[in-house]
């Protein structure tokens, strides 16, 4: 059964409220992913084996966190040919997120603005969903689990939430991503400042070592950062990553900037902007990180990957692996094959 052309389903989905379309898609994938109906969207995975942070990735193209916050559709998305999938962000306790509407399309720039606010069903439900997934990882896919803090947790107690999240997801993750860069949880980005970041990473790395002993395996931990950083901030973050022996960094999350979308409908909505307008911002951060971190330090590039050419550009900027989110929403599963193929031909 051939892949149903995304061009046929996109007009219907884009006729719906963005969050409604998102939930309808996830509900359908979750319901059908372990049935023969999955053949309707399955496609061959591009082979481009690469080892990063001690993990063997079947190809360099991943799905970014945020699309499947509760980890309900790991096998369904895995059937589309991703080399790795990152689910979450999950918080210790379930929370509804910010009031609706909270997701907006800006099609003129192939962009989205969201202020979801880590809406999710909580750690217990998340882990249960992850444990139910089987075919993606059985076929060699790599699974990242992304953790954050509850909105109700004071920023001075944020470390407690991250420790709960790390311990909860550690036994089930191939790598753990620590999200301190969402613009939609009050004060969260303050954790990127030098003193706060130093304290957070010190505690997390110590706990990682304890969990490695407890579970008999070391799970890499990556830090996800924002694109809205100047050179000094990037330099401090890079130095702190190296100081604590972090396993990698994900660059970047969404931006607060509106320079590229001024005058467009929804441009003034609060939240994080993603898609094409973030492409060069994220690449600039990747280039700066690579300069500071040197060769060999794992970097996952994300932000504005709308084509295979964009994916190759992230590698050229210094990324080892690349994630898609908004580009996937606009282009659908064909982008997975296009981007993975483009990166496999990087030479």
Structure tokens at 43: 């496609």
Residue among 42, 181, 182, 283 flagged as catalytic: 182
Residues 6+ apart with CB under 8 A from 159: 199, 200, 203, 204
Residues 6+ apart with CB under 8 A from 43: 3, 79, 80, 81, 333, 336, 337
> Nearest-CA neighbor of 73 among 61, 63, 58?
63
Q: Could you confirm whether 291 is annotated as catalytic?
A: no
**pLDDT by position in tens, the chain (length 347):** 345 678 788 999 999 999 999 999 999 999 999 999 999 899 999 999 999 999 999 999 999 999 999 999 999 999 999 999 999 999 999 999 999 999 999 999 999 999 999 999 999 999 999 999 999 999 999 999 999 999 999 999 999 999 999 999 999 999 999 999 888 787 878 888 888 899 999 999 999 999 999 999 999 999 999 999 999 999 999 999 999 999 999 999 999 999 999 999 999 999 999 999 999 999 999 999 999 999 999 999 999 999 999 999 999 999 999 999 999 999 999 999 999 999 997 65
Looking only at the bridges linking them, the beta strands covering 55-57 and 50-52 are antiparallel
């Amino acid at each position: 059964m051939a892949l149903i052309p995304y061009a046929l389903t996109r007009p219907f989905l884009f006729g719906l409220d963005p969050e409604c379309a998102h939930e309808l898609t996830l509900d359908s994938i979750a319901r059908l992913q372990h049935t023969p109906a999955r053949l309707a969207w399955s496609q061959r995975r591009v082979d481009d084996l690469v080892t990063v942070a001690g993990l063997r990735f079947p190809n360099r193209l991943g799905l970014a966190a945020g699309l499947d916050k509760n980890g309900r559709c790991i096998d369904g998305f895995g059937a589309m040919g991703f080399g790795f999938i990152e689910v979450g962000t999950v918080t210790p306790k379930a929370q509804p997120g910010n009031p609706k509407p909270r997701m907006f399309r800006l099609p003129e720039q192939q962009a989205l603005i969201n202020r979801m606010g880590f809406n999710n069903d909580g750690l217990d439900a998340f882990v249960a969903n992850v444990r139910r997934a089987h075919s993606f990882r059985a076929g060699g896919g790599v699974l990242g689990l992304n953790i954050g803090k509850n909105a109700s947790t004071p920023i001075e107690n944020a470390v407690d939430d991250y420790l709960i999240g790390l311990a909860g997801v550690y036994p089930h993750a191939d790598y753990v991503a620590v999200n301190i860069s969402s613009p939609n949880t009050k004060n969260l980005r303050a954790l990127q400042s030098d003193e706060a970041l130093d304290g957070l990473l010190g505690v997390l790395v110590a706990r990682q070592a304890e969990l490695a002993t407890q579970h008999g395996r070391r799970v890499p931990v990556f830090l996800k950062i924002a694109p809205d950083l100047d050179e000094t901030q990037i330099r401090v973050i890079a130095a702190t990553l190296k100081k604590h022996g972090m396993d990698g960094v994900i660059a970047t999350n969404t931006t607060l900037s509106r320079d590229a979308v001024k005058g467009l409908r929804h441009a003034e909505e609060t939240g994080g902007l993603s898609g094409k307008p973030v492409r060069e911002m994220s690449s600039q951060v990747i280039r700066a990180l690579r300069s500071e971190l040197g060769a060999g330090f794992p970097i996952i590039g994300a932000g504005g990957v709308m084509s295979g050419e964009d994916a190759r550009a992230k590698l050229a900027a210094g990324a080892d692996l690349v994630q898609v989110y908004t580009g996937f929403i606009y282009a659908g599963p064909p982008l997975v094959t296009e981007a993975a193929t483009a990166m496999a031909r990087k030479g």
